[in-house]
């Protein structure tokens, strides 16, 4: 069965892509992604991601379909920054979409830990892989490689380095695409005298959440 890569251009395309994203990040369960989902409905999450995409000129969503069925089976968001996004200080994203409470407290800490190092580690023109996922029933078919090739090709055309914050599940693929580990990430949330709710939710989300900071250098005539 053949695969086809698409560049997302309409709001209508987000629905099937987000449906696959939800399946992918719940199998296996990825606690940090749940912060972005926010415990809302899939429709609300879809609308929020579409809004973020339209408001961000660096954002590029792509997805893969199975040509036999026409179904979406994977997707990714690549951000292309031809200038450093950290050249000027900007407000850090907070989980404003999560209602007040324990989940928002924990989510805010995880999101801050995730984003706080970027201004120093990524302060240059670059390409960033924000999300990359394949439907659980369609893994090991080459979907991830297609999604990666789109971004690495763009990076080479523009002469830019690329970054990924990786989990263990994608580490091998990213290494095969030229990314190298430059550090580790450990996301966690703490509080004095944690309540039973705080402790259970922190454990449910898999804290501390471990990941890898990866960089792919400029290649070809731009190699560094």
162-207 per-position pLDDT tens digit: 999 999 999 999 999 999 999 999 999 999 999 999 999 999 999 9
- Whether residue 164 contacts residue 129, with contact meaning beta carbons closer than 8 Å, is answered with yes
Whole-angstrom distance, CA of residue 184 vs CA of residue 202: 20
CA-based diameter of the chain, in Å? 56
Domain boundaries, the chain: 3-222
Whole-angstrom distance, CA of residue 137 vs CA of residue 66: 12
The pLDDT confidence band at residue 221, using thresholds 50, 70 and 90, is very low
Residue 168: the pLDDT is 93
Write out pLDDT tens, residues 131-174: 999 999 999 999 999 999 999 999 999 999 999 999 999 999 99
Write out pLDDT tens, residues 100-122: 999 999 999 999 999 999 999 99
Structure tokens given for 62: 């792509």
The pLDDT confidence band at residue 219, using thresholds 50, 70 and 90, is confident
Annotate 90-101 with DSSP letters as a single string. Answer: -PPP--TTSPSS
Structure tokens given for 221: 């005539």
Q: Looking at domain 3-222, which CATH architecture does it have?
A: 3-Layer(aba) Sandwich (3.40)
Residue 155: the pLDDT is 97
Q: Which helix (H) or strand (E) holds 176?
A: helix 168-176
pTM here is 0.94
Residue 40: the pLDDT is 86
CA atoms within 13 A on the CB side of 66: 13
Whole-angstrom distance, CA of residue 171 vs CA of residue 58: 24
Residue 222: pLDDT over 50:
no
Section 54-71 average pLDDT: 97
Write out pLDDT tens, residues 136-146: 999 999 999 99
């Amino acid at each position: 069965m053949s695969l086809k890569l698409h560049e997302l251009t309409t709001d209508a395309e987000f629905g099937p892509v987000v449906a696959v994203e939800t399946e992918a990040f719940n199998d296996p369960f990825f606690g940090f992604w749940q912060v972005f989902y926010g415990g809302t409905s899939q429709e609300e999450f879809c609308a929020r991601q579409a809004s973020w995409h339209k408001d961000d000129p660096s954002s590029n969503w792509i997805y893969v379909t199975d040509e036999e069925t026409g179904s979406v089976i994977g997707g990714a968001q690549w951000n292309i920054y031809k200038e450093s996004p950290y050249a000027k200080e900007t407000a850090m994203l907070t989980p404003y979409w999560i209602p007040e409470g324990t989940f928002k407290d924990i989510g805010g800490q995880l999101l801050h830990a995730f984003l706080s190092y970027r201004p120093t580690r990524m302060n240059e023109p670059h390409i960033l892989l924000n999300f990359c996922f394949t439907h659980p029933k369609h893994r090991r078919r080459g979907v991830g490689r297609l999604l990666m090739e789109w971004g690495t090709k763009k990076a080479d055309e523009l002469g830019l380095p690329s970054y990924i914050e990786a989990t263990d599940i994608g580490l091998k693929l990213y290494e095969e695409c030229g990314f190298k580990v430059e550090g580790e990430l450990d996301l966690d949330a703490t509080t004095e005298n944690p309540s039973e709710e705080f402790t259970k939710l922190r454990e449910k989300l898999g804290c501390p959440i471990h990941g890898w900071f990866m960089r792919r250098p400029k290649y070809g005539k731009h190699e560094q």
